[in-house]
């Protein structure tokens, strides 16, 4: 492959990394970097749209031998992911990112905290894009880990107490997930005898402990996908992150868990003994996320629980493929189509929290009702494709559960619009933010699948007959009737629209924190001890401050020689081109 043909694939990952390093340059360069950061996903979007089918790239000098592959799965996810990151990046140009100093309204030099946000943004972007095209185990896991841990900087950006708390939970769950994923990948790779992801499903299917290996990967990637019981980080992280970060966290990054399942699990090969339990847990997430979400008081918290509910539905599809391998040829495209639909619709709703003037805010009903499955929307096409694959699954009451989840989604969207009306008021966003949000609304309604070869060709065949459309329509109507009555009663009884009694955001983690605090108080009261729990906390704080001081010194040290970072990356890029 020529150097010119290599340029676009390599820029997909290299450009975000180079820009992240460039933020250590003197301040006079920062206004330009601020704008270039927003455009960093552009090479990935062009690659997905323009590259030839099944483009492959061997990188023998990277890790244990890199392999990049742009197959139909990677292309579809790359279109949606790169488009959402691009829209969110343009949105962030006018979003007030600085927490310690004001960001200039003219898009000039951002403040110190905004610069830190941009670096974490670029590193997270690089990991997210890299894992979509990586098909070797080492490269995929490296990009996955980079996205996960760099995302911590987006969660804690504001530095407020709620953000620090969400960051702690995020890190704990991230470490647990990474341990499970790494264990599963290493054990599966040892059985496969090859470093490529493509061989893992067959290797797991033929392994004598294949069910346990698959369980490790299911739970590990499930942390990112928001599995029931492992979702606790999600409703805490999304509300506290800046709005553009929330959009990519919910719309793009949690799809990495789905991709991990699709690439590693023996879908369509064997039946796993725990698959029915996974399906039940997915239904609990789909319906439970909706029930808890309608009690939330913040618009972004409602959307976070909506993500748990929608990912629960996608998990139902994957779990069904592990129960009935013969259905996977139909279920696989359904999972992908649903993921694409949710990525743009949910990302658009997050951008709409701050991105539309009051008179344009009703436009958000389009992606909101699309999520609920309103006929003639992309959400309806996704749900019909999903149900077509699940009709033949012998699981009692499955269609009723899915319909109830659709009612819950409608109620969630009504609650979101209600909270948004209360929070946003008459705020007027910047013109660029509003323009980007409108483009996102258009993309979520028309569907990104039109831009993906093969996805829009049989669009008309996805609508089914009148009975299928009625099955989509009645849950939306029921949800609107119930939600409309609750909306009217709330407005008359509580002008602020606050739900006084409800489940706090984080649900399970709140219970765990209370239990741990109780244990700490009991431990501190033990007789015959001359130390208290507070001393342990103070010891931890002192050591954390020391670690922070070391990190700051290292950062100042690196800033003295920023050119070294460029030289290292340039040498790596040159080596790849020579090969």
Which among 358, 476, 470 has a CA at the least distance from the CA of 414?
Answer: 476
Helices and strands, counts by H and E, the chain: 23, 2
Task: Check residues 547 and 342 and name the one with the higher pLDDT.
Answer: 342
pLDDT of residue 183: 92
| Cβ atoms < 10 Å from Cβ of 446 | 14
Whole-number average pLDDT of the chain: 81
Q: Rounded to the nearest 5°, which phi and psi values hold at 464?
A: 70, -160
Q: Rounded to the nearest 5°, which phi and psi values hold at 246?
A: -60, -40
pLDDT of residue 489: 63
Among the residue ranges 31-35, 155-159, 475-479, 484-488, the one predicted with the least confidence is: 484-488
Q: At 516, is the pLDDT very low, low, confident or very high (cuts 50, 70, 90)? A: confident
Task: Check residues 24 and 497 and name the one with the higher pLDDT.
Answer: 24
pLDDT tens-digit profile of 292-335? 999 898 999 999 999 999 999 999 999 999 999 999 998 998 99
Indicate whether 550 pLDDT > 80: no
Q: Residue 556 is encoded by which pair of tokens? A: 């100042």
Q: Is the dihedral of CA 372, 373, 376, 378 positive or negative?
A: positive
Task: Check residues 211 and 483 and name the one with the higher pLDDT.
Answer: 211
Q: At 468, is the pLDDT very low, low, confident or very high (cuts 50, 70, 90)? A: low
Cα separation of 15 and 35, whole Å? Answer: 13
Task: Check residues 110 and 247 and name the one with the higher pLDDT.
Answer: 247
Q: For strand 55-59 and strand 66-70, is the pairing parallel, antiparallel, or unpaired?
A: antiparallel
Cα separation of 202 and 192, whole Å? Answer: 8
Q: Residue 383 is encoded by which pair of tokens? A: 């749900």
pLDDT of residue 365: 92
pLDDT tens-digit profile of 126-146? 999 999 999 999 899 999 999
pLDDT of residue 36: 93
Query: For 473, which DSSP code?
Result: H
Cα separation of 497 and 491, whole Å? Answer: 6
pLDDT tens-digit profile of 178-187? 999 999 999 9
Asked if 259 and 77 count as a contact pair (C-beta separation under 8 A), the reply is yes
Q: Percent of the chain having pLDDT more than 90?
A: 41
Q: At 459, is the pLDDT very low, low, confident or very high (cuts 50, 70, 90)? A: very low
Query: For 504, which DSSP code?
Result: P
Who's near 148: CB < 8 A, 6+ residues apart? 127, 174, 177, 178, 224
**Interval 141-158 mean pLDDT:** 93
pLDDT of residue 456: 47
Asked if 220 and 184 count as a contact pair (C-beta separation under 8 A), the reply is yes
Which among 213, 105, 145 has a CA at the least distance from the CA of 432?
Answer: 105
Asked if 349 and 303 count as a contact pair (C-beta separation under 8 A), the reply is yes
Terminal Cα-to-Cα distance of the chain (whole angstroms): 10
Q: Percent of the chain having pLDDT more than 70?
A: 79
Q: Residue 483 is encoded by which pair of tokens? A: 């939600």
Q: Provide the whole-model pTM.
A: 0.86
Q: Residue 158 is encoded by which pair of tokens? A: 């504001």
pLDDT of residue 508: 79
Q: Is the dihedral of CA 365, 125, 38, 554 positive or negative?
A: positive
pLDDT tens-digit profile of 327-381? 999 899 899 989 999 999 999 999 999 888 888 999 999 999 888 888 778 888 8
pLDDT tens-digit profile of 271-284? 999 999 999 999 99
| Residue whose entry in the numeric block shows the structure tokens 């849950």 | 475
Q: Residue 119 is encoded by which pair of tokens? A: 């670096």
Among the residue ranges 61-65, 137-141, 387-391, 565-569, the one predicted with the least confidence is: 565-569
- Residue 169: C-alpha distances to residues 163, 172, 294, 498 (Å): 10, 5, 23, 26
Cα separation of 87 and 335, whole Å? Answer: 24
**Interval 406-433 mean pLDDT:** 86
Could you tell me which residues are beta bridge partners of residue 196? 136
**Interval 11-16 mean pLDDT:** 90
Q: At 551, is the pLDDT very low, low, confident or very high (cuts 50, 70, 90)? A: low
Burial of 458 (0-12, 13-18, 19+ CB in 10 A): exposed
pLDDT of residue 104: 37
């Amino acid at each position: 492959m020529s150097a010119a043909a290599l340029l676009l694939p390599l820029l997909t990952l290299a450009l975000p990394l180079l820009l992240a390093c460039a933020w250590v340059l003197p301040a006079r360069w920062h206004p330009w970097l601020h704008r270039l950061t927003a455009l960093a996903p552009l090479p990935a979007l062009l690659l997905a749209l323009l590259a030839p089918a099944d483009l492959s790239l061997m990188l023998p000098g990277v890790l244990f031998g890199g392999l990049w592959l742009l197959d139909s799965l990677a292309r579809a996810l790359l279109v949606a992911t790169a488009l959402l990151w691009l829209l969110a990046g343009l949105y962030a140009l006018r979003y007030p990112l600085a927490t310690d100093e004001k960001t200039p309204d003219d898009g000039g030099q951002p403040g110190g905290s905004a610069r830190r946000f941009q670096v974490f943004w670029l590193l997270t972007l690089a990991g997210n894009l890299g894992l979509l095209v990586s098909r070797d185990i080492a490269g995929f896991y490296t990009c996955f880990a980079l996205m996960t841990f760099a995302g911590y900087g987006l969660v804690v950006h504001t530095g407020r107490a709620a953000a620090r708390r969400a960051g702690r939970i995020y890190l704990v769950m991230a470490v647990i997930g990474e341990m499970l994923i790494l264990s599963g990948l290493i054990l599966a790779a040892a059985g496969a005898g090859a470093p490529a992801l493509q061989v893992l499903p067959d290797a797991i299917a033929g392994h004598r402990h294949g069910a346990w290996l698959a369980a490790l990967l299911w739970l590990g990637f499930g942390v990112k996908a928001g599995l029931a019981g492992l979702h606790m980080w999600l409703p805490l992280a999304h509300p506290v992150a800046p709005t553009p970060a929330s959009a990519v966290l919910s719309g793009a990054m949690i799809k990495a868990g789905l991709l991990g399942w699709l690439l590693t699990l023996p879908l369509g090969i064997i039946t796993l003994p725990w698959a029915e339990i996974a399906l039940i847990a997915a239904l609990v997430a789909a319906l439970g996320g909706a029930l808890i979400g309608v009690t939330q008081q913040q618009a972004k918290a409602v959307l976070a629980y909506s993500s748990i509910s929608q990912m629960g539905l996608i998990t139902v599809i994957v779990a069904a493929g592990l129960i009935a391998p013969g259905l996977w040829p139909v279920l696989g495209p359904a999972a992908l189509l649903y993921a694409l639909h949710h990525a743009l619709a949910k990302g658009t709703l997050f951008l709409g929290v701050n991105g539309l003037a009051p008179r344009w805010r009703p436009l958000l009903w389009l992606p909101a009702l699309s999520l609920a499955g309103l006929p003639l929307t992309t959400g309806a096409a996704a749900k019909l494709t999903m149900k077509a694959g699940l009709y033949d699954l012998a699981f009692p009451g499955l269609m009723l559960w899915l319909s109830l989840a659709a009612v819950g989604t409608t109620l969630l969207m009504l609650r979101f619009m209600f909270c948004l009306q209360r929070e946003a008021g008459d705020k007027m966003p910047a013109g660029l933010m509003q323009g980007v949000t409108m483009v996102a609304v258009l993309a979520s309604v028309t569907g990104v699948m039109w831009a993906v070869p093969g996805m829009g060709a049989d669009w008309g065949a996805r609508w089914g007959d009148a009975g299928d459309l009625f099955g989509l329509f009645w849950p939306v109507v029921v949800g609107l009737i119930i939600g409309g009555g609750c909306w009217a009663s709330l407005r008359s009884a509580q002008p602020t629209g606050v739900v006084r009694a409800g489940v706090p955001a984080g649900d399970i983690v709140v219970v765990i924190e209370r239990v741990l605090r109780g244990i700490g108080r009991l431990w501190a009261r033990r007789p015959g001890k001359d130390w208290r729990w507070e001393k342990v906390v103070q010891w931890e704080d002192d050591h954390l401050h020391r670690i922070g001081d070391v990190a700051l010194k290292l950062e100042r040290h690196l800033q003295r020689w920023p050119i070294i970072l460029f030289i290292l990356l340039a040498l790596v890029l040159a080596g790849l081109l020579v090969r």
